[in-house]
Amino acid sequence: MKVLVAIKRVVDYNVKVRPKADGSDVDLNNVKMSLNPFCEIAVEEAVRLKEAGKVTEIIAVSVGAKVVQEQLRTALALGADRAIMIETDNNVQPLGVAKLLNAVVAKESPDLVILGKQSIDGDNNQTGQMLAALSGMGQGTFASNVELGDGSVEVTREVDGGLQTVSLKLPAVVTTDLRLNEPRYASLPNIMKAKKKPLDIVTPEDLGVEIAASVTTLSVEPPAERKAGIKVASVEELVDKLRNEAKVIS
Amino acid sequence: MSILVIAEHDNASLKSSTLNTVAAASALDGEVHILVAGSGCAAAATEAAAASGVAKVIVADNAAYANQLAENIAGLAVDVAADYDYVLAGATGNGKNFMPRIAALLDVQMISEIISVESADTFKRPIYAGNVIATVQSTDAKKVITVRTTAFDPVAATGGSAEQVAIDTASDAGVSSFVGEELAVSDRPELTAAGIVVSGGRGMQNGENFKLIEAVADKLNAAMGASRAAVDAGFVPNDMQVGQTGKIVAPELYIAVGISGAIQHLAGMKDSKVIVAINKDEDAPIFQVADYGLVADLFDVLPELEAQL
């Protein structure tokens, strides 16, 4: 069985981003970039399926400028067998990414595609669902457990109020939630080995996909600041304030 | 212009988040219709028809829609959406699941989790875990949008008298099936809809101690939440998590107990009207967003608070 894992290069989760002074975009100069945390979980899940003997090949794929090779090499160091970089300098929106991935799916015919549920930059939470739609596959989003069977996969999903389990025919799309697994760190020998693993570079034109951007960011701004209030000295004072000043309890 | 809102419901009743989504739809210029897709969902459809500002309710009652499977809902919604300029749903677990699928089938770049409507094609939405607010404009002829429900005050649940129209389409994509679900059973208000939320963090030390939170929540008829640290430590189940990767809440009163206030938690609750922080570490970042802070040991405070409410 073949698994395709789509990954994204994003601002490291420890970085607090700020808008540029002119408010045109966020300031990403000299900011540390990493593999999106949900994508790390996606790679880890694929590797565990391979270690369990259910998967024979893992292909990592990413869309972006040349630098995304760094994150593809990370995925290779974590256990992916080969990588495909779809090279473009344009800012591709989720629908465009889904179209590009759909072209790769058509070429590679994976049995399972695993993606992070969202990237921590755009917070869109769209690409996996869109890929499933375009390819006609079923979707197991926000997965907290994946049981890969013969011809189908059972996905336990985090839903409002609890968990839901669905069964999907293969091929299918799974998007990862936080509690699916705890990703490993790449070992030094594996990082060295990853440098020799195959990494193919293709362009959107090669894949026959035209990318249009129909949503434009006009401006960015910091969120409204919340001011710190007052410290109260006792429970009694707190209850009094809530009752008589804020009037939020009776 | 016309706007289609896809209802959030459990067949038996309409979820209040639908009323917030209708409020966002009402900020656009056009007639608002609601699609209720479910199985045995007549009661939910009747509630939808009573919502203020709704002109029509489209009811698709079929076994294929019983569990809101994205593959089936999307097939239906794409057909219904043909007559509309906007398709909206709450950014709930269900909305996040099926809306991108609908958008892709319509060849539309969806706009996720809007917090305001600036004009017919321009919206504000949080990015980077809420650290930045982006103003975005869409040139798609049809717009597919999810709504951060806490950012819009709900329309009245009663007073409307929309006509109900049943449609007879069964869209079973045949690629997915429902196996089962484990939903937390509770008499408490739902976390995302509660007027008061009491949350515990790592400071609670273990799951047993959440009984102290429960006692206070009982007195206030409040929902119970938790920080990611408390969830990751296994004190309480996942569905209680408030934060960027959990539930986004904005109640009238949010009481954070033993929560330090990591950015990812603040992203989930900082739009609450009044925030109370109880923490023995006076330097905890939670105090920077709290209206009322109490520096004290939560194990002393919680029983006393319960007694005084």
- Chain A residue numbers touching B263 (CB-CB < 8 A): 16
B97, B127, B289: residue with CB nearest A121: B127
pLDDT for position B279 = 97
Cβ(B163)–Cβ(B127) under 8 Å?
no
pLDDT at A162 over 90: no
Percent of chain A scoring above 90 in pLDDT: 90
Radius of gyration for chain A, computed over Cα atoms and rounded to the nearest angstrom: 21
Tokens of B11: 């067949």
- Chain B residue numbers touching A137 (CB-CB < 8 A): 175
Report CA dihedral (B239, B132, B125, B73) to the nearest 10 degrees. -40
Query: CA of A95, closest CA in chain B: separation in Å?
Result: 6
pLDDT in tens, A238-250: 999 999 999 999 8
A123, A167, A220: residue with CB nearest B177: A167
How far, in whole angstroms, is CA B262 from its chain's centroid?
21
Q: Is A132 helix (H, G, I), strand (E, B) or coil?
A: helix
- Chain A residue numbers touching B130 (CB-CB < 8 A): 223
- Chain B residue numbers touching A120 (CB-CB < 8 A): 128-129
- Label residue A33 by pLDDT band (50, 70, 90): very high
A169, A218, A230: residue with CB nearest B137: A218
pLDDT for position B246 = 83
pLDDT at B95 over 80: yes
pLDDT at B195 over 80: yes
Alpha carbons A70 and A64: distance in angstroms, whole number: 11
Query: CA of A9, closest CA in chain B: separation in Å?
Result: 14
Q: Which of residues 181-220 of B touch A (CB under 8 A)?
A: 181-184, 190, 192, 196, 220
Tokens of A214: 């129909």
Q: From the CB of residue A133, how many other CB atoms can be counted at a distance below 10 Å?
A: 28
A246·B292 Cβ contact <8 A = yes
Minimum Cα–Cα distance from B240: chain A residue: A161
B293·A124 Cβ contact <8 A = no
Average pLDDT over residues A174-201: 96
Choose among B266, B308, B263: nearest CA to B290.
B266
pLDDT at B194 over 80: yes
- Label residue B245 by pLDDT band (50, 70, 90): confident
pLDDT at A10 over 80: yes
Tokens of B222: 């409040």
B126·A123 Cβ contact <8 A = yes
Alpha carbons B77 and A63: distance in angstroms, whole number: 30
pLDDT at A173 over 90: yes
pLDDT in tens, A93-144: 999 999 999 999 999 999 999 999 999 999 999 999 999 999 999 999 999 9
- Label residue A87 by pLDDT band (50, 70, 90): very high
pLDDT for position A4 = 98
pLDDT in tens, B199-210: 999 999 999 999
Residue type, A218: L
Question: A198-207, B16-25, B50-59, B243-252 — which is least confidently predicted?
Answer: B243-252
pLDDT in tens, A190-248: 999 999 999 999 999 999 999 988 999 999 999 888 888 999 999 999 999 999 999 99
pLDDT for position A5 = 98
pLDDT at B260 over 90: yes
- Give the residue from A40, A170, A177, A235 with the most B CB atoms within 10 Å of its CB, the best one to mutate: A235
Q: What are phi and psi of B194, to 5 degrees?
A: -75, 150
pLDDT for position B117 = 98
Q: Is A42 helix (H, G, I), strand (E, B) or coil?
A: helix
Query: Tokens 């119970």, residue?
Result: B224
pLDDT for position A201 = 98
- Label residue B170 by pLDDT band (50, 70, 90): confident
pLDDT at B185 over 80: no
Average pLDDT, whole number, for chain B? 95
Give a three-class secondary structure readout of B115-181.
CEECCCCEEEEEEHHHCEEEEEEECCCCEEEEECHHHCCCCCCCCCCCEEEECCCCCCCCCEEEEEE
- Asked if B221 has any chain A CB less than 8 Å from its own CB, the reply is no
- Label residue A178 by pLDDT band (50, 70, 90): confident
pLDDT in tens, A11-27: 998 888 999 999 999 99
- Label residue B196 by pLDDT band (50, 70, 90): very high
This complex has an ipTM of 0.95
- Label residue B239 by pLDDT band (50, 70, 90): confident
pLDDT in tens, A45-64: 999 999 999 999 999 999 99
Percent of chain B scoring above 70 in pLDDT: 100
